[in-house]
Amino acid sequence: MEPASCRFAAYSYDDYKETADWLLAHTNTQPKVAIICGSGLGSLADLLKDKTVFPYEDIPRFPTSTVAGHAGQLVFGKLQGRECVCMQGRFHFYEGYSIQTVTYPVRVFCLLGVESLIVTNAAGGLNGSYNVGDIMVIKDHINLPGFCGQNPLVGHNDDSFGVRFPCMSDAYDRDLRALAVQTAQEQNCDSFLQEGVYCMVAGPAYETIAESNVLHNLGADAVGMSTVPEVVVARHCGLRVLGLSLITNKVVTDYDSNEKVNHEEVLATTQIRAQDLQRLVRHLVTKI
């Protein structure tokens, strides 16, 4: 956990470059694709060949992950022969990190030469047609923390990364989404593939019934506590983005229901569908 005095720190270009240069000096891999693994989905990184593994605590200026289901290491290697870097565990606003710290790795990826970012997460299903175990290709997002001023681009804009006012109407790359759908059909995953809108809430408490109904009425198909800040920074840097949500539970929207969501249920569902998601990403990477 970062000290309280650092939680609202802004980072300079030199900070990101120091981390990127250290990583480049310790690996021969030159990744063009980065993958951020959500809760329980870190096993994606286990598929990499010729791996070089860096625990987060060993990387200069890198934050550390504190959440169950997040291993906390950066893995370089080859996925289906394609050089990649994979985060086994991300950082969350609810852990006490600033939104700038949450997104720190994305700008490091940019300086490593990464061109495309795949973000995965575990999410609750708000759309009544979704089933537990579905994989949702994210076509758009609702950034609720951003509505309240918690946007990673607040503050001084570093023009070396991107423009002051980046466009977000194309946040999730249309061609990558089409590739994901095509790959899902080829891998017989299309029967549980959805496409929809992801809504980010700050967490860590799960949503009340009233909140869940509000989110659905706003147009959200799934809800989670991550991903959006990373996507905002990735687009600011000019990276192409593909987002995939694993629907791990149905969000409770009925006051007569006795269902109660919990993190253990989320992790258990990811284990059931993890191999399908791995297969989808593995074959997708070769087409990017």
- Residue 216, both tokens: 């659905």
pLDDT in tens, 129-186: 999 889 999 999 999 999 999 999 999 999 999 999 999 999 999 999 999 999 999 9
Beta-carbon contacts of residue 3 (< 8 Å; ≥ 6 apart): none
Give the H or E element holding residue 248: strand 240-250
What's the CATH code of the domain at 78? Answer: 3.40.50.1580
CA distances from 132 to 40, 69, 205 (A): 15, 18, 20
Mean pLDDT by 10 residues, the chain (288 residues): 47 96 95 88 85 95 71 91 92 91 96 97 94 94 95 94 96 97 93 96 92 96 97 98 93 75 68 84 91
Residue 1: what pLDDT?
Answer: 44
269 SS3 class: helix
pLDDT in tens, 209-229: 999 999 999 999 999 999 999
Residue 47: what pLDDT?
Answer: 87
Query: What ranges in the chain are assigned the alpha helix state H?
Result: 13-26, 99-102, 104-112, 144-147, 174-186, 209-218, 228-236, 263-285
Beta-carbon contacts of residue 262 (< 8 Å; ≥ 6 apart): none
Residue 2: what pLDDT?
Answer: 46
Q: What is the DSSP string of 82-104?
A: EEEEEEES---GGGT--HHHHTH
Q: Dihedral of CA 24/28/30/36: which sign?
A: negative
Residue 8: what pLDDT?
Answer: 44
- 220 by Cβ neighbours in 10 Å (0-12 / 13-18 / 19+) ranks as buried
For 9, the domain range is 4-285
Residue 70: what pLDDT?
Answer: 53
Task: Tell if the pTM clears 0.85, that is, is over it.
Answer: yes
Tell me which residue of 29, 38, 45 sits closest to 282, measured CA to CA: 45
Q: Count other Cβ atoms within 10 Å, centred on residue 232.
A: 23
| Total domain count, the chain | 1
Catalytic residue positions, numbered: 39, 70, 92, 94-95, 122, 225-226, 249, 263
96: left (phi over 0), alpha (psi -120 to 50) or beta: left
259 SS3 class: coil
Residue 249: what pLDDT?
Answer: 87
Residue 66: what pLDDT?
Answer: 66
Beta-carbon contacts of residue 71 (< 8 Å; ≥ 6 apart): 42, 45, 65, 88, 89
- Residue 92, both tokens: 């969350």
DSSP 3-state percent helix, strand, coil across the chain (nearest 5): 35, 25, 40
